[in-house]
Amino acid sequence: MADCKVFTVRLDASDARRIEFVARVEGLAVNDVFRQAIEVLVDAKRADPDFMERVAAILAADAEIADGLRSVAT
């Protein structure tokens, strides 16, 4: 993994034990369990029309801001 970013995740003891247990049962590193969970979450969000509607609204607002900055710069 040449290009990676490190995050710190704080979990309560119960959640940490559950993640460690899942990792042991699956024969995976805890890191890999987190990666799988993130992939499942992102896939679910992509399939959620309400989430995607909010994404589109934020992208449109950001485009307006960027356009305004470009017009000031030229």
If residue 20 lies in a helix (H) or strand (E), which one and from where to where? helix 13-26
pLDDT level of residue 70 (50, 70, 90 thresholds): confident
How much is the average pLDDT of 43-72?
95
| pTM of the predicted model as reported, rounded to 2 decimal places | 0.78
Long-range contacts of range 59-62, CB-CB < 8 Å, 24 or more positions apart?
none
d(CA 68, CA 31): 41
How much is the average pLDDT of 23-49?
98
Mean pLDDT, rounded, of the chain: 94
Give the tens place of pLDDT for each residue, 16-28. Answer: 999 999 999 999 9
Query: Is pLDDT at 72 greater than 80 in this prediction?
Result: no
d(CA 24, CA 20): 6
Domain range summary for the chain, segments of one domain joined by +: 13-73
